[in-house]
Structure 1
Amino acid sequence: MASLKEVRSRIQSVSSTQQITKAMKMVAAAKLRRAQDNIIRMRPYAQRLTSILANLTRTTTDEMVSEYGEVRDVRRVLVIAITSDRGLAGAFNANVFKGVNALIAARYASLPVGNISVMAIGKKAHDYYGRRNMLVGNYTHVFTKLSFDTVRVAAEEAMRGFTEGTYDEVVMVYNEFKNVATQVVQAEQLLPLVPTEVPAGTPSANEPANSIDYIFEPSKEEIIKTLIPQSLKIQLYKAVLESNASEHGARMTAMDKATDNAGELLKSLKLTYNRTRQAAITTEILEIVGGAEALAAGR
């Protein structure tokens, strides 16, 4: 049985840890609110841009979108893995790694390992894939000051790699934010462009492409050439925002569970402390009684 001093030391240690997890939960809740607001504002814009692009590309010749829509034999792949910079978020980062591994096993198992590269957005992905010699690019700074401009640079590198023939496919793997307790790992193909589907619930979701009459200025070709790169950058930015909100939700949930677990452990330690103290008192009483009886017997 542990001594009273050891049990008391553990109680103090667990109490300090519980205070830290409570504070981290409150910080994560505050950050989650801002991150959730950002992704909620972003989704309608991304959906509307996708809707417009869908209506345009459904009546567009292949020559106009061939730069980002060229389907080639897949020999080299770029996977954009979006994780967090810090841990203490439960299985948040591990789920992304599992998602990347499952994607490679399902779609690219026939490719040599050296033909699969990973662009890491977030320090955890950078460290994980850096140890496996799969890393290209360094975007560990994205979440330091999250903005469209910081994500745009990563998107442009991926787009340039595709158009130059360095990669034949570009896929994003990230945690999609559902709610505080639920984050779902998604693997979405960024390049080449897949046939665009209009998200359900958008105004033009059930309308035929020729039912919307757009006025093009300066021309349809130039607008599409501008919209497609912008749409690709927006898709990656939206995925990063989803991951950011998911991270804070996962950390809030993890810290809440850690706080509860610390409370249960404190109860157990206090019970052990009281039992140990009671056993020590009982032993002292028995020793006193035994000593008194020995003195009485010696008289």
Structure 2
Amino acid sequence: MASLKEVRNRIASVNSTQQITKAMKMVAAAKLRRAQDNITQLRPYAQKLSQMLGTVSAGAETASDSPYKQARPVERVLLIVVTSDRGLCGAFNTNAVKGALTLLDQKYAAQARSGNVEIMAIGKKGAEAFQRRGFRVNTTHVNTFGSLNFGTVKIAAEEAMDGFAAGRYDAVEIIYNEFKNAAVQIVRAEQMLPIVATPPAAGAAAAINYTFEPSEEEIVTELIPKTLKTQLYKAVLDSNASEHGARMTAMDKATDNAGELLKELKLVYNRTRQAAITTEILEIVGGAEALANA
């Protein structure tokens, strides 16, 4: 049985840990509210923009000439994996890494075996995980969350777009955690490049004729890069909100677990203390009886 001093030290240590996890939960909750507002505001715009691009691209002649729509045999792949810079957020980072590895196994196994897969890591945890596995990792954008805004994400998107247009990559995929609520994050894999046109549905929608102003070429040329950058920005904002939700949930569970552990330790402490008192009483009684019989 542990001594009273050892149990007291454990109680003090768990108390300190509980205070830290409780504070981290509160900080994550405050950050989550802001991150949730950001993704909630952007999501409808990004979805509508993507829908518009798919519909217009299906009918616009200019879109077919876009370098971002050129489908070719997939030999070189770029995976943009969005994780966090810090841990203590449950299985958040592990799930994103597993999602990327599953995508490689199911869709790009041959490219992975031949070493033609490059990882663009947005978040330090993803970069570290893939470096340990021997992948070529672009770590230029691991600090994106330090100053998260459209401008910083746009740089990463442009790098991927330029690489695809130049033929360095034949396919670009984004893997991230989509935010549902504080307790639920869903791993998503989205094809960024080449662009897949979405033909209009059969019926009335199929008969729509678009009138372009100022011109079809100018609109499509402007719309495609903007949509691609917004797609990546939405994924990063989704991941940012998911991270704070996962951390808040993890720290809430850690705080509860610390409380349960404290109850057990206090029970052990009281039992140990009672046993020590009983032993002292027995020693005193035994000594008194020895003196009385002397």
TM-score, structure 2 as length reference: 0.95
Q: Which moved more, 1:19-28 or 1:132-141?
A: 132-141
Deviations 1:15-44 (A, max 9, x none): 000001000000000000000000000011
Paired with 1:252 and 1:65, the residues of 2 have a C-alpha distance of: 47
For 1:56, what is the secondary structure of its paired residue? Answer: helix
Please tell me whether residue 153 in structure 1 is matched to residue 137 in structure 2: no
- Conserved 8 A contact 2:117-2:135: no
Deviations 1:87-119 (A, max 9, x none): 000000000111111111111112235211100
- Conserved 8 A contact 2:54-2:196: no
For 2:151, what is the secondary structure of its paired residue? Answer: helix
Deviations 1:58-112 (A, max 9, x none): 2112764441111111111000000001000000000011111111111111223
Paired with 2:34 and 2:77, the residues of 1 have a C-alpha distance of: 34
- Cα pair distance change 1:68/1:3, threshold 3 Å: same
- Conserved 8 A contact 1:93-1:124: yes
Counterpart amino acid of residue 76 in structure 2: R
Shift of 1:260: 0.3
Shift of 1:184: 0.4
Deviations 1:175-216 (A, max 9, x none): 000111000000111001113378xxxxx9996154364441
- Conserved 8 A contact 1:65-1:225: no
- Cα pair distance change 1:11/1:97, threshold 3 Å: same
Paired with 1:124 and 1:206, the residues of 2 have a C-alpha distance of: 48
Gaps in structure 1 of 5+ consecutive residues:
199-203
Instruction: State the match for 1:11 in structure 2.
Output: 11
Instruction: State the match for 2:235 in structure 1.
Output: 239
Q: Which moved more, 1:67-76 or 1:35-44?
A: 67-76
Instruction: State the match for 2:170 in structure 1.
Output: 168
Identity of aligned residues (%): 61
Paired with 1:108 and 1:46, the residues of 2 have a C-alpha distance of: 27
- Cα pair distance change 1:207/1:11, threshold 3 Å: farther
User: Pick from 233, 257, 260: which aligns with 1:261?
Assistant: 257
- Conserved 8 A contact 1:88-1:251: yes
Shift of 1:167: 0.7
- Conserved 8 A contact 1:120-1:137: yes
For 1:226, what is the secondary structure of its paired residue? Answer: helix
Superposition CA RMSD, Å? 1.8
- Conserved 8 A contact 2:84-2:243: yes
- Cα pair distance change 1:102/1:277, threshold 3 Å: same
Please tell me whether residue 116 in structure 1 is matched to residue 117 in structure 2: yes
Gaps in structure 2 of 5+ consecutive residues:
none
Matches within 5 A, 1:40-51: 40-51=40-51
Instruction: State the match for 1:77 in structure 2.
Output: 77
Matches within 5 A, 1:210-289: 210-211=207-208, 213-217=210-214, 219-289=215-285
For 1:130, what is the secondary structure of its paired residue? Answer: helix
- Conserved 8 A contact 2:55-2:197: no
- Conserved 8 A contact 2:124-2:142: yes
Matches within 5 A, 1:81-230: 81-111=81-111, 112-131=113-132, 132-196=134-198, 208-211=205-208, 213-217=210-214, 219-230=215-226
- Cα pair distance change 1:215/1:105, threshold 3 Å: closer
Shift of 1:48: 1.9
- Conserved 8 A contact 2:80-2:120: yes
Counterpart amino acid of residue 95 in structure 2: N
